[in-house]
Amino acid sequence: MKKPLILVTNDDGISAPGIRSLIDVMSEIGEVVVVAPDKPQSAMGHAITINNTLFLNKVSKSNAAITEYNCSGTPVDCVKLAVNEIFHRKPDLCVSGVNHGSNSSINVIYSGTMSAAVEAGIEGIPAIGFSLLDYEWDADFEPIKSFIKKITIETLTKGLPIGVVLNVNFPKLKEHEIKGIRICRQAKALWVEKFDKRKTPQGKDYYWLTGEFVNEDKGEDTDEWALANGYVSVVPVQFDMTAHHSIQHLNTWNLNEKN
Amino acid sequence: MKKPLILVTNDDGISAPGIRSLIDVMSEIGEVVVVAPDKPQSAMGHAITINNTLFLNKVSKSNAAITEYNCSGTPVDCVKLAVNEIFHRKPDLCVSGVNHGSNSSINVIYSGTMSAAVEAGIEGIPAIGFSLLDYEWDADFEPIKSFIKKITIETLTKGLPIGVVLNVNFPKLKEHEIKGIRICRQAKALWVEKFDKRKTPQGKDYYWLTGEFVNEDKGEDTDEWALANGYVSVVPVQFDMTAHHSIQHLNTWNLNEKN
């Protein structure tokens, strides 16, 4: 069987340990091409670069086992450039990560890691975003490699439903402590901001965004529950953002009556 | 009755004609505070600023009818700063726009205008994003003002379902040509990229992202259909991105069997 062509990207930048671990696992499964940001692009959401130029640089040597490019743009730009300017076709899979830090719950919407996966999904490419609940550069990705491999192979074998990509988060545990993999829904949680207000040396106010993650969703079918209880969480994510359930209600509004 | 407190923001920047029109309409309805980016932030998706400082400047004079701030960050940053550092409470409504250009269909996911509305929704604030299908700086916003007012008043009166914000797009038509307002679903469409590859004066390749919007979704219940047929489209948008319909299917995968 022909090896699947796998695009690997992330949002922490091409030199992050997380993506190096993901490349290791993917090399056991398929032909790997890396197109990743040349600098950290965390919390970029689904940003694309339309008011600036994009640079794409081949950074692997010609005899390297894996072809690697860095890109001056966002994670979404990386996917678009890979498909259009490197592959000239759809890869068989796009994987993003492994992110240094959680992308569970509402983080999916701020995440550069997940936006790359979502962009691939929009373009009809099976896609998975992987994140580890450890923000450290020195995070240990070894315990999760077997799970990444299993989820990836199952995705390649079974295929994903149309319009769905996977958001996979790993608890910060040793391999034998991880209880298993659970399919979950996104917990209804949010960040409560707290700005750190400071003054420049010239006396002008400025802010750093900080915040506290608040989860009041106690459902045992959520990603937050799974992660807190030692499981790997897998949330199927869609990019049809329509709140279909509220269309009927909104049709009762008097929007077309003359005043 | 006390006037509602309305936060106005956008992604084209505080000096864009679109936001000035929105401020005009909102001033007829409530107490308006503007917190908008100090420069264009189109296509920023749900980006937030975590690796850089944020500046917030009051730009209206002390005797001005409307209080205005510009912000060095993204549209989402504007909402977070407004709620936390200006209001110290939730406003009664957040409106974003009027965007110069469409945010219908899949554009909702790339849009800075909509990300501001979605952020407000996450924080429990009723929110609406408005966009006009005209990218020109000189776009005529007069024909849509009565529709903006009607939708806003209905939203304040009826309230939005929990977890739902509105994505409102206007066709580029004269007021009497607009047939009415339709509640729609997001059309399943996408951008097919085409990069414009150029060379720097030093001979290095670079790219501009361009693309073609392709809609193969012919449903008459979509925003694209409504807009093409002379209607204002209103799509209820949710930020629970879980593909609930696929959870049962994914539970049939062999993720927890030992190899």
Q: Would residue B81 count as lying in a domain?
A: yes
Residues of chain B contacting A259 with CB distance shorter than 8 Å: 150
Q: Would residue B209 count as lying in a domain?
A: no
Q: Would residue A77 count as lying in a domain?
A: yes
Tell how strand B189-199 and strand B205-215 pair up. Answer: antiparallel
**Count: domains in chain A:** 1
Does ipTM surpass 0.95 in this model? Answer: no
CA separation for the pair B22, B40 (Å, rounded): 17
pLDDT digits over B224-253, tens only?
A: 999 999 999 999 999 999 999 999 999 999
For chain A, the residue count is 259
From the CA of A55, how many Å to the nearest CA of chain B?
5
Q: Would residue A160 count as lying in a domain?
A: yes
Q: Would residue B208 count as lying in a domain?
A: no
- Three-state SS at A41: coil
Q: Would residue B38 count as lying in a domain?
A: yes
Q: Cβ contact (<8 Å) for A195 and B251?
A: no
Evaluate whether A216 touches A149 at the Cβ level (below 8 Å): no
Q: Under the phi-then-psi rule, with left for phi > 0, alpha for psi from -120 to 50, and beta for the rest, what region is B89?
A: beta
Q: In the numeric block, which tokens belong to residue A95? A: 């994987």
Instruction: Identify the domain containing residue B85 by its residue range.
Output: 5-188+220-250
Instruction: For chain A, 259 residues long, give each residue's pLDDT as a single digit of tens.
Output: 689 999 999 999 999 999 999 999 999 999 999 999 999 887 777 888 888 899 999 999 989 989 999 999 999 999 999 999 999 889 999 999 999 999 999 999 999 999 999 999 999 999 999 999 999 999 999 999 999 999 999 999 999 999 999 999 999 999 999 999 999 999 999 999 889 999 999 999 999 999 899 999 999 999 999 999 999 999 999 999 999 999 999 999 989 876 5
CA dihedral in degrees (A16, A167, B236, B79; nearest 10)?
-30
Evaluate whether B135 touches B43 at the Cβ level (below 8 Å): no
Q: How many Cβ pairs within 8 Å bridge chains A and B? A: 221
User: How far is residue A154 CA from its own chain's centroid?
Assistant: 18
Mean pLDDT value across chain A: 94
According to the model, what pLDDT value does residue B101 have?
95
pLDDT digits over B18-38, tens only?
A: 999 999 999 999 999 999 999
Identify the residue whose tokens are 């900080």: A210
Evaluate whether A126 touches A156 at the Cβ level (below 8 Å): yes
A57 is in an annotated binding site: no
Q: Is the peptide bond before A8 cis (omega within 30 degrees of 0)?
A: no
Evaluate whether B112 touches B146 at the Cβ level (below 8 Å): no
pLDDT digits over B123-171, tens only?
A: 999 999 999 999 999 999 999 999 999 999 999 999 999 999 999 999 9
Q: Cβ contact (<8 Å) for B106 and A151?
A: no
Neighbours of A127 (CB within 10 A): 29
B42 is in an annotated binding site: yes
CA separation for the pair B56, A186 (Å, rounded): 33
B99 is in an annotated binding site: yes
According to the model, what pLDDT value does residue B258 have?
65
Q: Cβ contact (<8 Å) for A239 and B151?
A: no
- Three-state SS at B116: helix
Q: Closest residue of B to A233, CA-based? A: B255
CA count, 13 A, side-chain hemisphere, A252? 8
Evaluate whether B36 touches B113 at the Cβ level (below 8 Å): no
Mean pLDDT value across chain B: 94
Residue in A103, A168, A242 to test binding to B, most B beta-carbons within 10 Å: A242
According to the model, what pLDDT value does residue B47 have?
84
CA separation for the pair B171, A240 (Å, rounded): 22
Output the domain CATH number for residue B122.
3.40.1210.10
Across the interface, of A55, A83, A122, the residue whose CB is closest to B206 is A55
Evaluate whether B106 touches B89 at the Cβ level (below 8 Å): no
CA separation for the pair A250, B41 (Å, rounded): 30
A240 is in an annotated binding site: no
Evaluate whether B18 touches B139 at the Cβ level (below 8 Å): yes
Q: Nearest CA to A242 among B163, B9, B115, B192?
A: B163
Identify the residue whose tokens are 């696929």: B246
Whole-number Cα distances in Å, B205 to A14, A73, A254, B17, B93 = 20, 14, 54, 36, 46
According to the model, what pLDDT value does residue B79 have?
96
Q: Under the phi-then-psi rule, with left for phi > 0, alpha for psi from -120 to 50, and beta for the rest, what region is A84?
A: alpha
Evaluate whether B4 touches B30 at the Cβ level (below 8 Å): yes
Burial class for A222, CB neighbours closer than 10 Å (0-12, 13-18, 19+): buried
Evaluate whether B167 touches B103 at the Cβ level (below 8 Å): yes
Evaluate whether B9 touches B79 at the Cβ level (below 8 Å): yes
Q: In the numeric block, which tokens belong to residue A148? A: 């990444």
Evaluate whether B212 touches A80 at the Cβ level (below 8 Å): no
Residue A125 amino acid letter: I
Over residues B48-55, mean pLDDT = 88
Please state at what angle helix B145-158 crosses helix B17-27, rounded to 10 degrees.
50
From the CA of A45, how many Å to the nearest CA of chain B?
4
